[in-house]
Amino acid sequence: MTKSTRSSDTVRADRGDQADIQAVSRVSQILSLFEPATPEVTAGEVAERLGLNRTTAYRYCTSLVAAGLLERSAGGGYVPGGLLLQLGAFAIGHRRVVNLAPRHMRALSRATRTSAVLSLWGLTGPVVSRVEEDVSAAVIVSVRVGSHLPLDTAQSKVFLAYHADQLSMGRLMANLPGQAQEELRADVERVRAVGHCSAMGTPGIVAVAAPVFDEYGICATMAVVAPDNTLAMSDDAPELRAVVDAARALTRELGGHYRPDDPEQQAVEGPQA
């Protein structure tokens, strides 16, 4: 009888563990629905996008509100809550690159008369983490901190080229339709070859980006953004050299290597044994 009781207790415990894991996974799925294009969701939208019934979706949303991870909006939907914002700010604030980057970004912004943008990798793409604007420029391109950048941006292509988890990067690109996927893969290969990326994002706005590395690999992208009539996309543009130099300088300060195949780095270090 004792053995049977222990067996039943073990089964119940296993089921409880599985339910806890499923609940955590579901919460992660709900929170990942939020992005710049989707700042608010309803319980009905959660149910539809995650394949839940409305009652279950509503129960999850109200529980997340009670925990401070979501808040009710004036329109009756749900938006990211105070605890979620606090955790996000805490995580970003403890990234060493965010603390060291401002000096380099201010110099880059002044030298190019553009907005300098630092992005970190989020769940499925780069997230803008800091912006330095040149207030003396005739036209200022403003980028909102917290913006999630799509995969066709210069910053995304740089991350796709150098991210340590290339299997996950491949899965992200595989979600795109055929032609767009082929074009993106070609662009990523070019980034690996030249070490930087220039791309048109929002119509009329150009971004020029380069990778920043710490001792573990790519940790951020440094970029400048400006109207296409003031920022060239060519490989010999002075703004591109300024971006690469700023990314290289920040990389050195972080204790990383700019690129393993970087000709300038190889020239400094000399031939390897």
Are residue 222 and residue 148 in the same domain, yes or no? yes
Let me know if residue 202 belongs to a domain.
yes
Q: Which domain holds residue 76?
A: 2-84
Number of domains the chain contains? 2
The per-residue pLDDT for 12 is 53
Q: What pLDDT, in 10s, does the model give residues 3-23?
A: 555 566 554 555 556 777 888
Residues 69 and 103 both lie in one domain? no
Q: Is residue 220 part of a domain?
A: yes
Give the pLDDT of residue 151.
93
Polymer length of the chain: 273
Same domain, 42 and 119: no
- Is residue 128 within 8 A of residue 149, CB to CB? The reply is yes
**Is the same domain home to 116 and 64?**
no
**Same-domain status, 125 and 227:** yes
Residue 90 falls inside a structural domain: no
233/179 same-domain check: yes
- pLDDT, tens digit (0-9, with 9 covering 90-100), for 78-91: 999 888 877 776 67
In a domain, 71, yes or no: yes
Is pLDDT above 80 for 212?
Answer: yes
Bridging pattern class, strands 78-80 and 126-132: unpaired
φ, ψ of residue 65 in degrees (nearest 5): -65, -45
Q: What are phi and psi of 3, to 5 degrees?
A: -60, -45
Both 257 and 133 in one domain: the answer is: yes
Q: How far is CA 201 from CA 24, 152, 165, 226, 227, in A?
A: 35, 7, 25, 10, 10
Q: What confidence score (pLDDT) does residue 268 get?
A: 47
For 50-76, write each residue's pLDDT tens digit.
999 999 999 999 999 999 999 999 989
Question: 126 and 31 share a domain?
Answer: no
Task: Calculate the CA 30 to chain-centre distance.
Answer: 18
Task: Please report the pLDDT score of residue 273 as a whole number.
Answer: 38
The rounded distance, in Å, linking the Cα atoms of 163 and 173 is 13
3-state secondary structure of 132: strand
CATH number of 200's domain: 3.30.450.40
pLDDT, tens only, 137-170: 767 788 888 888 999 999 999 999 999 999 999 9
Residue 89 lies in a domain: no
Residues 78 and 135 in one domain: no
pLDDT of residue 271: 47
**C-alpha distances in angstroms, 118 versus 143, 157, 160, 207, 255?**
10, 14, 16, 12, 18
Tell me which residue has tokens 């032609």.
Answer: 179
What is the CATH number for 60? Answer: 1.10.10.10
Does the pLDDT value for residue 264 go beyond 60? no
